[in-house]
Amino acid sequence: MIKARVTVTLKNGVLDPQGKAIEHALAGLGFDGVGSVRQGKVFDIEIDGADKAKAEADLKAMCDRLLANTVIENYSISVAS
């Protein structure tokens, strides 16, 4: 079993209204000094098998085809050893 974490974030320059709303909410709760908030999403995925190279290739394909909108989002993949 291979465990992986995929993190998807908006590319720099893409407006992030949800991040801006969180930023304002934190200020309203009294958290001073928060300069900027960008939101994203995390996927924890388990893949059957032991072939790490195949798992990484499959994860990249999953991101490119479904998990990330690569026009406006970046992603990173971390596979546990």
Beta pairing class for 2-10 and 40-47? antiparallel
Distance of CA 37 to the CA centre of its chain: 14
Alpha-helix runs per DSSP H in the chain:
17-28, 52-62
Q: Predicted confidence band at 80 (pLDDT cuts at 50, 70, 90)?
A: confident
Question: So where are the chain's domains?
Answer: 2-79
Residue tagged 């924890």 (tokens): 44
Query: What's residue 64's pLDDT?
Result: 97
pLDDT at residue 48, rounded to an integer? 94
pLDDT at 46: 96
Rounded average pLDDT over 12-41: 94
pLDDT bucket at 81, cuts 50 / 70 / 90: low
Percent helix, strand, coil in the chain, to 5, is 35, 30, 35
- Which amino acid, one-letter code, is at 24? H
Which CATH class name applies to 2-79?
Answer: alpha beta
Query: What is the pTM assigned to this prediction?
Result: 0.85
